[in-house]
Amino acid sequence: MRVLGSLVLALCSLAALAQEEDKDCPMCLTNQFAKCSGSTCECTLKVAENMAPIVNCSKLTSKCWMMKNEMYRKKNNIGTRRKPTEHAMLDNDGIYDPECNNEGKFHAKQCNGTDTCWCVNTAGVRRTDKGDVNIQCPELVETFWFQVQLRHKPMEKQVDQTKLKEAIKNVFAGYQVDPGYIENVEYSEEDHYIIVDLKQNRTVTSPTDLATATYYLEKDIKGNTLFSIQYNRSIQDDGIPFDGTKLSFEEAYVYYIDSKNPEFSMKGMTPGIIAVIVVVCLAVVAGLVVLFFTRRKAAKSHIYQKAEGRELDEIQKQQLTT
């Protein structure tokens, strides 16, 4: 009996020790949903019932894994999804349960666990019509150009454009985007839009791919950060420090432009279009979106855009005639 007692005691203290060890593991700064444990403090991200890839917390976790984790949390009602902000309306846009390879890259064909499948680009964005399980996606087409359009709230004083460009570079540095990827930062004073062109650049290697970086950015702007609380985010909930004050955003759009034409069966498809543009809309209300479609110029003329999410997904496939 005594032996059993001390055995139990020993086991208990061992368990306590193990617990202690987990507590001692530092948090995964770049991924608040990752769990770190064990003597090596390895961090893993649960993405399915029996799947938890190891994540490297000095980098951002790939978009594919993050989407998969979000779907897992949704299905199981886990999570610390914050109270919807004013931006919450379009928060579910385009989310599906993706298939990722071992490196966390998207498979070209995605089915969301159903019999309806489609092809995606390297950013995981649909670039074909939806079809059945037999749909062929022979290759994963590269999204080589991301255009981020941010609209800031009115400022007291005039925006200094040089400082603005510097601030934008710092924002992207916070997502581990090499400055070599930032091709252009444009500012439109009258409607407060900051337009950032990010392009793949073979001469630099960033730890984070642009799809992942823009996904993290999107989440930060929506007020649903993927970073852990301790991480010194470059976009806080109230915006970014700028010129002695704060620059906060009220709308953001991410356009994805692929190296090959998209394959939507739209009538009036013009030869020579180069891009699929998917607008991930973080805008407040649908009204704004419609305004956007009729008013904003897209990255280039003759580009199709498709709003991802909700009904817009089906109805907004239209050509811009800028």
Ligand X SMILES: *[C@@H]1O[C@H](CO)[C@@H](O)[C@H](O)[C@H]1NC(C)=O
Q: Which residues of the chain form contacts with ligand X (CB under 6 A)?
A: 56, 58-59, 94, 96-97, 112, 179-180, 183, 201, 203-204, 207
CA 143 – CA 121 distance, rounded (Å): 6
What b/e string do you get for 201-233 counting C-beta neighbours within 10 Å, with b at 16 or more? beeeebebbbbbbbbbbbbbbbbbbbbbeebeb
> Least Å distance between CB 88 and ligand X?
16
Q: How far is the CB of 121 from ligand X (least distance, A)?
A: 14
Task: Say which residue the tokens 């919450």 belong to.
Answer: 88
**CA 259 to CA 273: how far, in whole Å?**
11
Name the residue nearer to ligand X (CB basis): 145 or 242: 145
**Rounded least distance, CB 12 to ligand X, Å:** 33
Spatial CA neighbour of 281 closest among 300, 319, 308, 314: 308
Q: Please, what is the minimum distance in Å from the beta carbon of residue 6 to ligand X?
A: 39
- Which of 41/155 has CB closer to ligand X? 41
**Nearer of residues 97 and 220 to ligand X, judged by Cβ:** 97
Instruction: Quote the distance between the C-alpha of residue 180 and its chain's center.
Output: 20
User: Which of 22, 313 has the CB closer to ligand X?
Assistant: 313
Residue 30 or 305 having the CB closest to ligand X: 30
Which residue, judged by CB position, is nearest to ligand X in the bound state?
180
Q: Taking the complex as a whole, how short is the minimal distance between the CB of residue 244 and ligand X, in angstroms?
A: 29
DSSP for 263-320? B---TTPPTT---EEEEEE--SSHHHHHHHHHH---SSSS-EEEEESTTHHHH--EE-
Q: Are strands 109-110 and 118-119 parallel, antiparallel or unpaired?
A: antiparallel
8 Å CB contact between 63 and 211: yes
Q: In the complex with ligand X, which residue's Cβ is closer, 35 or 59? A: 59
Q: Which is nearer to ligand X, 115 or 160 (CB)?
A: 115
Six token digits for residue 295? 């008013």
Q: Considering the complex, state which of residue 19 and residue 39 has its C-beta at the smaller distance from ligand X.
A: 39
| C-alpha span between 279 and 291 (Å, rounded) | 13
> What residue has token string 């970073």?
227
Least Cβ distance, residue 280 to ligand X (angstroms): 12
Q: Which is nearer to ligand X, 201 or 228 (CB)?
A: 201
Tell the smallest beta-carbon distance from residue 261 to ligand X (Å): 21
Q: Which residues contact 305 (CB under 8 A, 6 or more apart)?
A: 255, 277, 278, 279, 293, 298, 316, 317, 318, 320
> Can you say how many angstroms the Cα of residue 321 is from the centroid of all Cα atoms in its chain?
28
Question: From residue 207, how far is each of 59, 100, 174, 293, 303 by CA, in Å?
Answer: 6, 18, 12, 34, 30
CB of 51 to ligand X, least distance (A): 16
